[in-house]
Structure 1
Amino acid sequence: MNPLRKHFDPDTSLPIELVLRSTKNLQSELPDHLHDWYEIIYVHSGAGSFFINHTFYEMQAGDLYLIPGNTIHRTLPHSDEPITSSAMFFSGQYVQTTAIGKDAYSFLRCFDKAKTGRNYRIELLPAERTRIESIIDEMNEELLLRQPGYSQAVLLLLQTVLLHTNRKMNPGEPKQQHGGSRPGWLQSALNYIDAHLVDSLSLSALAARAAVSPSYFSRMFKQMTGLNVTEYIIAKRIMHAKELLGDTDYTVAEIASLCGFESLPHFYRMFKKVAGSTPAHYKRVDDRST
């Protein structure tokens, strides 16, 4: 199992990272990302597919993608149209909820909506594209020059992006995604896995549901998601375990069972491999950050 677990320093004084106008193609694109920081991706140009959580999107210039922490995601650029994008990674505590008077405001509301509605893409209008590109360039200049007050300036710029994104979010139904060259059974299989993480999920059973051979199912699954079936299922189970560790008072043994692991030692091994720490250590860190 080797999804890219992107590492960020939780103790840094400026918990934000900006990747400016990075061009990706099939040769240079990274494996799957799986990290606890929030991420905003803006597409400047190019085309490709974007796999987020368990849904595929067809990327195009002007798209803005919201990726909550603890979410599997991977871009697959088109061979003839490399993707050029900018990405902002940041800690949720960095833009924590503020209150003026009696009104509390969460800058992370847009991520909550994206996760609840399972729609992580926003299509920006021309004026909105110009505005966010300007903010990204200004943020990059602040990070490069590091003039007095630059950390406050970067925070204000990020909060401005989140404020406009919160206002832009449409609570309605997401647009239907086009399948492109992906087989229809793949999306059905991803939906099924997401809804049955606690159950026994074997390659042969999933292939039988899709009415294809196990070898073909396995090959297409790896090609489209970047992970083989077992890797993907374990990663999703660990993501669910991290949510339970942060949001509930279940014991580690109870969480292991609720996430479909047959034994506690296996759960510990897989959690350490995917999350980079033990469940107990992860819970302690999460408790300190809340």
Structure 2
Amino acid sequence: MKQLHYELHYFDNPSYPIIFHFNSLSKHQSEILPHWHANIELLYIVSGKALVSIDDEKVIANRGEIVIINSNSIHSIESYSDEVVYFCLIMDSNFCRSLNFDTINCRFHNLTRDPEMRNIFQIIANECHQSKPHYQKAVRALCNTMLILLYRNQLIEKREPSRSKSNRMSVIKQSIEYIHHNFQRDLSLDEISQEVGISKYYFCRIFKEITGITVNNYIIQVRCNHAHQLLAESDISVAECGELCGFNSTAYFTKCFKAQFGFPPSKIHHFKQEGIKVAHESNTTPTQRSVFIASNGQQEPIPL
């Protein structure tokens, strides 16, 4: 079985918590490896045919069809033809919740040819490609419409948040959600393992096996990503930022931040003053999606 990965979506601009990009995969040459994330993801097949594995289901999507990947569904993507070309739209779950759409606890059909949703994809692609003034506001509004269409036509069920601890994946998903809600304060392995109801040692072992990194490293990376966003959008000091993101000392915060981004946190204010775009770097190639690599700072997509 291929190793699974949790994907943390990173937003260069916190006021634009949307990822929209263009991608292509060749048969037998590349694939998007099994992973999951809390945010809902929509794939619009522009040409070719895709094989999308979603939990225990395999979905074959043809040109003009839209694949809906529900929150926390384990999924992978590969080409079912010589090449598949598609658009990918990911909407942050907190953004959806701010619009009164709970995408975490709702389930939608995995495949649709809804003409209205296809039209929204077309308009979003054009907005991103042309990048006219206020295009990000336009895309936010279009995503609101996309959510309305999802709930009108594709909703299967709305369920109460699950507290199931019956399998390893449930435990890891629950622990990740808990970390994201509590990373700003002191967070111990004992506390997290107690929250998910298993021993600390077993929890640490299965977390590393499933996500590919240790619990402590995961917490550090979540904190650093949040710190990057705070520094990029405000004039907050490095010391205050580190404290707000759960670091006990400025020196340790600087060390962790530099290890992740390649430069110290103090550089972000310098970059802003010089008008340099603050980029989120990753050593992971686009077809080997893993932890912490998806960003909304991609190259703009081309129109359909």
Indicate whether 1:162 and 2:151 are aligned: no
Q: Which amino acid aligns with 2:176?
A: K
* Equivalent position of 1:59 in the other structure: 61
2:202 is aligned with 1:263: yes
Relative contact order (alpha carbons < 8 A, sep ≥ 6): 1 or 2 greater?
2
SS in 2 for 1:96: helix
Relative to structure 1, the CA distance from residue 241 to residue 56 in structure 2 (aligned partners, 3 Å threshold; closer, same or farther) is farther
1:216 paired residue number: none
Count of aligned positions: 212
Counterpart CA distance in 2 for 1:280 and 1:29 is 28
Q: Distance in 2 between matches of 1:164 and 1:276?
A: 40
The structure-2 alpha-carbon separation of the partners of 1:112 and 1:268, relative to structure 1 and needing over 3 Å to count, comes to: closer
The aligned residue for residue 97 of structure 2 is 96
Q: Aligned match of 1:18 in 4, 11, 20?
A: 20
Deviation at 1:158, TM superposition (A): 1.2
The structure with more helix, counted as a fraction of residues: 1
Instruction: State yes or no: 1:107 paired with 2:47.
Output: no
Deviation at 1:154, TM superposition (A): 0.7
CA contact (8 A) 1:38 1:90 kept: yes
Which residue type is aligned with residue 87 of structure 2? Answer: S
- Per-residue CA deviation, residues 66-119 of structure 1 (Å, 9 max, x unaligned), is 2244432102322x4533322102322233334xxxxxxx3345x6331xxxx6
CA contact (8 A) 1:256 1:267 kept: no
Equivalence for 1:86: 87
CA RMSD between the two structures: 4.1
**Correspondence 1:72 to 2:74:** yes
Deviations 1:194-239 (A, max 9, x none): 9951xxxxxxxxxxxxxxxxxxxxxxxxxxxxxxxxxxx6x66422
What are structure 1's unaligned runs of at least 5 residues? Answer: 99-105, 173-193, 198-232
* C-alpha distance in 2 between matches for 1:252 and 1:164: 37
Q: What letter corresponds to residue 83 of structure 2 in structure 1?
A: P
Q: Is the alpha carbon distance of 1:148 and 1:76 closer, same or farther for their aligned partners in structure 2, counting shifts above 3 Å?
A: closer
Matches of 2:109 and 2:118, distance apart in 1: 19
Counterpart of 1:254 in structure 2: which amino acid?
Q
Distance 2:214 2:73 in 1: 12
Are residue 273 (structure 1) and residue 189 (structure 2) matched?
no
1:34 aligns with 2:28: no
Cross-structure match for 1:123: 112
Partner of 1:239: 173
Distance 2:193 2:128 in 1: 44
Deviation at 1:23, TM superposition (A): 4.7
C-alpha contact 1:245 1:255 (8 A) present in aligned 2: no
Match of 1:224 in 2: none
The structural deviation recorded for 1:135 is: 2.1
Residues 65 and 112 in structure 2, CA contact (< 8 A), matched pair in contact too: yes
- TM-score under structure 2 normalisation? 0.54
Q: 1:261 to 1:67 in 2, by over 3 A?
A: farther
Give the letter for the 2:66 counterpart.
L
2:192 matched residue in structure 1: 252
The letter for the 2-side match of 1:251 is: E
Q: Which residue of structure 1 lines up, in the alignment, with residue 51 of structure 2?
A: 49
1:272 touches 1:279 (CA, 8 Å); kept in 2?
no
CA distance in 2 between partners of 1:276 and 1:16 (Å): 27
CA contact (8 A) 1:16 1:90 kept: yes
Query: Secondary structure of the equivalent of 1:87?
Result: strand
CA contact (8 A) 1:62 1:123 kept: no
Quote the sequence identity (%). Answer: 15
Matched with 1:186 is none
State the AA in 2 paired with 1:88: L
Aligned-partner residue type, residue 91 of structure 2: F
* CA displacement at 1:257 relative to structure 2: 4.3
